[in-house]
A and B are shown apart, each in its own frame.
Chain A
Amino acid sequence: MPKKVRIPTPLRKLTNNEELVEVNAATIGEAIAELQSRYPGIQERLVDEKGEVRRFVNVYVNEEDIRFLKNKQTPLKDGDEISIIPAIAGG
C-alpha cells in the first residue's frame, strides 16, 4: 500500500493541480526523490543546496513534524500521510 503526500497550493502547478499524490518510498528523503522523478523541479522547492529541507518548509508524517522524528531519514510505512506546509506565524 502506498503513502499519500498532501501537496500545498504553491506546488500544485508542478503536480498538474493534484492535491494528493501517492509514493512508494521508504523514507522522507526517498519520497522527495520519487516526487522529483515524477514532477521535475519539485525537489529544489523543498530542499536547499545542501540537501536539507528548506527552513520555511515544514514536513509532517501523520501530523508529526519530521524535525521531531528523523528529518529526511524519517521512515515511512504503508498508509502514512505526509503533509508539506509553509511555515506560518501567529500569536
Chain B
Amino acid sequence: MRSVRKFCQPLLVMSRGLFVAPIEFAAADVSPRQLYNAPINGGGGPGKIFMSEHHGYMKALKCRECGREYPLAANHVCEFDFGPLEVVYDYERIKKSLTKAAVQSRPQTMWRYRELLPVANDPTVGLQVGFTPLVKADRLARKLGLRELWIKNDTVNYPTLSFKDRVVSVALSRSKELGFDTVACASTGNLANSVSANAASAGLKSYVFIPHDLEQGKILNSLIYGAKVIGIKGHYDEVNRLCAEIAGKFAWAFVNVNMRPYYAEGSKSMAYEIAEQYGWRIPRHTVVPMASGSLLTKIQKGYQEFIKLGLVSETKYAVHGAQATGCSPISAAQKAGLDFFKPVKPNTIAKSLAIGTPADGFYALRVMRDTGAAAEDVTDDEIRDAIKLLAETEGIFAETAGGVTVGVARKLIASGKIPRDDSAVLCVTGNGLKTLDAVDGYLGKPREIKPSLREFEALLAQEEKANV
C-alpha cells in the first residue's frame, strides 16, 4: 500500500481502497495514460524494482526493448521507444507456492496456475475459464501420417468458445483491481465475444470495436450480451489504430491496448495446461496460429516458466507458427529467413487471424528461430479442407483459425519439418459455430424425402449404387 501511494501521490486525485480510481482522473483534464506513463525513478534508466505485497507475485512492468521499468498500472507502451511492456514476476516466491501438488489440488480451470497470472488478488472474472481437453487425435494422426497427435481443444473454452476467454478473464480481473468500470477492445471477433460476455457477468460496461464485415455469428455473439458494438469501415489494423487513439482519450480499460501487458499473459495458461495434461512434459512440437503473434510468444513463455520453476524437465521442443496465405506477414518472413516482417493488407477467410501489422511479429520470429521451429501458411481452400478433416476424424468443429493450424500441421508433416515419428500438439483456438459463413456452400446439402420408408430405402439404394 505504501509503495502504491508513493508512486501515485503526485498524480492522485482520489484513491478508492487499495487501487487508484482511473475514472476520477479523467475529471482532472489529463488522460490516465499520461498519468500512468511516468517510468519508475523518473525514467533516467532502468529503475529499481517496483515491489509491494499488494501486487501479488508481480514486480513491475518492463519494456521488452530497453528494459525500463514502470509501475503496475494500465499502461502498455514504453514512452522512450514505444516498446511493449511486459509483467515481471517474483519467481523465487512463486517457486515456493506453485508446486505440482498445489496445482493438482486446485479446481480444473486456468486459475490453478494463479501465481503466474498477473492479478494482485484472487481473480474476480472468468473463474471457470480454461482447462479445456487435450484430445489424443489418433484418427487425424493416421490421416496426417504422424506417430502421435494431440488437439488442445479451446473450441469448448468457457464461456465464449475460444482461447480469448483466457486473456479476457485476466484482463477484466485486473481492470477491476485498477478500478475501471468500462472495458473495451479492438477485435477480429472472438475477443469481442469474450469481452462482451465476461463484462456482462462481471457487471462492467463494454465497448467492442470490430471490422464491419465480420462473420454474422461473431457480431451477434457480441450484441447478445448487451455490449456496445461499433463496426469500423476498415480492416482490423485500422480498427486497432483507431482504438489506440480512443484509448488515449477515454479512461477505459482497453483489454488489448492499455491493459495488454496483463491481457497477453492469460495466453500462457494454454501452455501450462498442455504441459500438465501431457504428463508434466513439454511436447516435442506445438503448432500455434498467429495473428499478432502474441499467443505463440506466450506459449513459449509458459513452457520456459515451467522449466524455470522445475515443474517440467528441460527438453528440446519447437513452437511452430501457422498463418493464412492471405495474411501471412510472419510466416513469409520466417520462410525468407528474415527477422523482420513487411506489413500486408489481409485477404483471407481466416478473419480472426487477419492482422496485417502483427505487433508481436518480431518476437514470434525470434521464438521460432530460438526453438528451431518453422512457419507455414495455407490457402482458403486448404483451410476449409482442414476444418472438414478435423471434424470428420475427431468430431471437433473448429473455426477458420483451427483450419489454419491443422492445414499448416499437415504441410509441416509432409515437408518433414515435423518428422513422422515425432509427437505434436495442435492449438485449436476457436469454435466453428462462429464462422459458419466460411464453410457454407462447401458441405453439400441434406437430401430431403417424404416421411416414407420406401423413399428412404430408395435413397439408400441410390447411394450404394453411387459408391460401387
Contacts and interface: CB of A to CB of B under 8 A. Distances in A.
A50 interface: no
B76 A88 contact: yes
B260 interface: yes
Interface string A1-35: 00000101111110000000000000000000000
B54 to A, nearest CB: 26
Report the interface size class on chain B: 35 or more
B357 A87 contact: yes
Interface in A61-91: 63, 65, 67-68, 83, 85-91
B173 interface: no
B343 A56 contact: no
A58 B352 contact: no
B191 interface: yes
A11 B77 CA distance: 11
Nearest to B248: A9
Contacts of A10: 33, 37, 77-79, 82
A88 B343 contact: no
Given A91-B187, A91-B256, A60 B34 contact: no
B191 A88 contact: no
Contacts of A90: 185-188, 191, 236, 240, 256, 291-292, 355, 359
Contact of A89 (B78, B81, B294, B353): B294
Contact of A68 (B34, B291, B343, B360): B343
A9 B35 CA distance: 10
Nearest to A87: B359
A54 B65 CA distance: 11
Interface string B198-238: 00000000000000000000000000000000000000111
A9 B79 CA distance: 9
Contact of B34 (A12, A55, A63, A67): A12
A56 B76 contact: no
Find the residue from A55, A68, A91 having the highest chain B CB count within 10 A: A91
B244 A86 contact: yes
A38 interface: no
Contacts of B357: 58, 65, 87
B65 A56 contact: yes
B202 to A, nearest CB: 20
A8 B237 CA distance: 17
Contacts of A86: 76-77, 82, 244
A67 B81 contact: no
B215 to A, nearest CB: 14
Interface of A: 6, 8-13, 45, 54-58, 60, 63, 65, 67-68, 83, 85-91
In order of increasing CB-CB distance, the 7 nearest A-B pairs are: A89-B292, A10-B79, A89-B359, A56-B82, A87-B359, A86-B77, A9-B248
